[in-house]
Each structure stands twice: as C-alpha cells, then as structure tokens.
Amino acid sequence: MSIARDLDGYQTPIPVVDLDRMESNLDRMAAYTRDHRLHLRPHVKTHKSLRVAAAQVVRGAAGLTCATPRELEVMSGASASLLLGYPPVGAGRLARLLAVPEPVELRVSLDSAQAIDGLAAAASAAGRPVAVLVEVDLGMRRVGVATAEELVLLARRATDATGLSFEGIAFYPGHIRSGGPESDDAIRRVSNALAGMLDALAGAGLAARTVSGGSTPTAWRSHEIAGVTEIRPGTYVYNDRATVACGVAQRDDCALTVLATVVSTAVPGQAVVDAGTKSLGREPRGGDEQFGFGELWDRPEVVVRAMSEEHGILDLSRTAWRPVIGEVVRIIPNHVCIVTHLFDGVIGIRGNEVVEAWQVAARGR
C-alpha cells in the first residue's frame, strides 16, 4: 500500500493512531506486569490487528485474548498462545476454534457443563488439547459461576473430560469503572471472593495454575488481588474518553483519534462532520447527558453532541472557534474498541507525518 505522508492525503473519516502514544501505553503496561510478576495477555478486541498484537508480543505478552473466531484466526499469526475469553458454544464457533493452526496453544474460558461437554467432544474429534479456565463471577453479573461449589464441579468436569485439561480461573472485573481510591472496597470484595474460590479449589485437590483477570480500569491494581497470575486489559493500548473519565489514563494517552471533515455549518451554533455513529459508535456516558459522543483532540470544549449515521454534530456553544467547510478535525471517541471495529484500516502517525497504514484484519465475524 502506498502511503501519503500528509494527513490531508486521506479521505475522511479514518482512524489515526499516534504511534508514540500507543508505544508509551504498551510500554507502561508491560513494565507494570513485569514489576509485579504478572503475565500479560492483552485482549485484542481493541485493535484487531496483527500490527499492534506484534507490538504487544515483542514487549513480553505471554499470549493474547480473543472474543471471536475471526480474532483467533488472525491472531494465530501473532502469538503461540491464545485464550478464547468467550463461551465456546455452537458448532461453528467450536469448529473454527479447533481449526486454529497448530502449534498454537488453545485456552478457553467457560461457565457451564454444556460448554465443557461440547468443547471436549470437539477437542477429542480434532485430536487437539484445549486448556479450560472456569469463569467465575466476582461482581460483574455477566457470565461466570457465582459459587465455589459450581466452580469445583466444573473444574472437576474439565479435569475428567477427554481432550481437556483444567488450567484455572478467569474473571472479568468490568463492574469496577475506576482505578482510584473510590474503588478500594470493590477491589477488596473481588479479592476476598477470589480467595474463597481458590480455597475451595485447593480443598478439592484442584490446583489453578492460571488465575486470569484484569480490565483496563483495574489493571494497575491487579497486584492487590491476591492469587491473580495474569491480566487481560485491552483498551489500554489506545485509551479513550471512558478510560480518561475512569482516571486510569490522561488525555494525552489517547492514541487513536478519528480524522473527520467539517461538511456543514448551515445550522447556527453547530458544525457537522462526516463522522457519525458509523464511525464513532453510539456510546453515551450514563448519567451525563452533556458528555456527548466524542471530543475534539485540540479543543476539548467542543464535543460531538448528537449523531446520525454519517453526521456528527459538533456543539459550538462553549467555543469561539467557527470552523469552515472542509476543515479537518480529530475526534477522541468515547469507546475506542467500537471505532476500530467500524473501519477496515488505520493509519499510523509520528508527529504529524503518516508513517504506516495497517488493516483491522480481525474485524467481522
């Protein structure tokens, strides 16, 4: 692919990654996990690209976490150890999991006897060992068993199943939306609940080699949760308005912005850009109507107030800036993982110069 060096050479809307910021985000998380002797298994849903996965692996990631078969297929080109952090339910999903090229080590987190039985049958038929992490619910209320009794039953079932081995526990503390002292109690509750689960396993003679947790908001406090051996943050690679609002990133840590063009100023008090829900996603911040759906990189006071599919309405009520038609802006999205998933490709810049372009190869199903 030939690369225009100037951002003006690109048709908008298009995501732009500031490589210096991205690398500093990657370095910081790699250093944290090294310092605390934790394995890092980043979730690839945020970037869905081999380019960024390779940058994570080269910094010491022990493996990668995927949610979809497409992510597994693509990421088999980046890491020798993949975790499917999603219930392996359905013949199509199982077939694609087991068709991931060898010698990639396969791990799966799950929370039901049905999922274990289906996975065991598929793994045996394929002659491919799969390691199981039993998902426990430590407060998120999404997936995961709630009691130590259920955990022990599933761990034993995985241990006894032909084709499977029991590797440990997975949990996702996505209910904790900040990394500061206001989360102290919630972190303590997760830690206590996990300790109970681990005691029950040990009492049943079942050892968890891996205890996998850690979202981006809780990543930096993972060492406070006794027993955790690996973390799976995803959003940290790019960050977004949500991680800044959580207090776990600075605005300058936001590595991905959406380049957009002002296409209309006809309605007073606003300007319209060519990035709507099909570029930014529609991720409101609960309880804050003024938050909007994105903000301008160089003018934080200007937010995307409303959107149609291809129209983003910039609110000009708090700025003296009056954009002209054709002016190009950069927007920090609310939730960056959704943005990645909406585009085929990304361009990478250093300073203001475009130096790279890569595909979002693992998007789609």
Ligand X SMILES: Cc1ncc(COP(=O)(O)O)c(C=O)c1O
DSSP state of 324: -
- Of the candidate spans 14-22, 209-217, 266-274, 326-334, the one that interacts with ligand X by CB under 6 A turns out to be 209-217
Return the number of the residue (118 or 144) whose C-beta is nearest ligand X. 144
Shortest separation between residue 247's beta carbon and ligand X, angstroms: 13
Instruction: Assess 85 for contact with ligand X (CB under 6 A).
Output: yes
What lies within 8 Å, CB to CB, of 348 at 6+ separation is 16, 17, 18, 19, 22, 51, 354, 355, 356, 357, 358
How many residues bind ligand X (CB under 6 A)? The answer is 11
- Of the candidate spans 68-76, 115-123, 188-196, 233-241, the one that interacts with ligand X by CB under 6 A turns out to be 233-241
d(CA 233, CA 247): 15
d(CA 31, CA 35): 6
- Of the candidate spans 22-30, 160-168, 214-222, 248-256, the one that interacts with ligand X by CB under 6 A turns out to be 214-222
DSSP state of 132: E
Of 107, 232, 241, 330, the one binding ligand X (CB under 6 A) is: 232
Return the number of the residue (43 or 51) whose C-beta is nearest ligand X. 43
Shortest separation between residue 217's beta carbon and ligand X, angstroms: 6
Identify each DSSP E strand in 9-94 by its residue range: 14-18, 39-40, 64-66, 81-84
Shortest separation between residue 231's beta carbon and ligand X, angstroms: 8
Residue with tokens 């029950």: 200
Other Cβ atoms closer than 10 A to 277? 17
Of 235, 257, 279, 340, the one binding ligand X (CB under 6 A) is: 235
Tokens encoding 111: 């929370």
| Contact positions with ligand X (CB under 6 A) in 113-172 | 172
Return the number of the residue (216 or 334) whose C-beta is nearest ligand X. 216
| Contact positions with ligand X (CB under 6 A) in 10-29 | none
Residue (of 107, 110, 169, 97) closest to 138 by Cα position: 169
- Of the candidate spans 110-118, 226-234, 264-272, 353-361, the one that interacts with ligand X by CB under 6 A turns out to be 226-234
Tokens encoding 222: 């993972």
**Amino acid symbol at 305:** R
- Of the candidate spans 89-97, 211-219, 294-302, 342-350, the one that interacts with ligand X by CB under 6 A turns out to be 211-219
Instruction: Assess 234 for contact with ligand X (CB under 6 A).
Output: yes
**Amino acid symbol at 299:** R
- Of the candidate spans 17-25, 72-80, 122-130, 210-218, the one that interacts with ligand X by CB under 6 A turns out to be 210-218
Of 68, 79, 215, 222, the one binding ligand X (CB under 6 A) is: 215
DSSP state of 78: T
164-170/210-213 β-pairing: parallel
Residue (of 349, 334, 263, 344) closest to 295 by Cα position: 334
Instruction: Assess 216 for contact with ligand X (CB under 6 A).
Output: yes
Instruction: Assess 43 for contact with ligand X (CB under 6 A).
Output: yes
First CA to last CA distance, the chain: 24
Instruction: Kindly list the residues in this chain that would bind ligand X in the complex (CB under 6 A).
Output: 43, 65, 85, 172, 215-217, 232-235
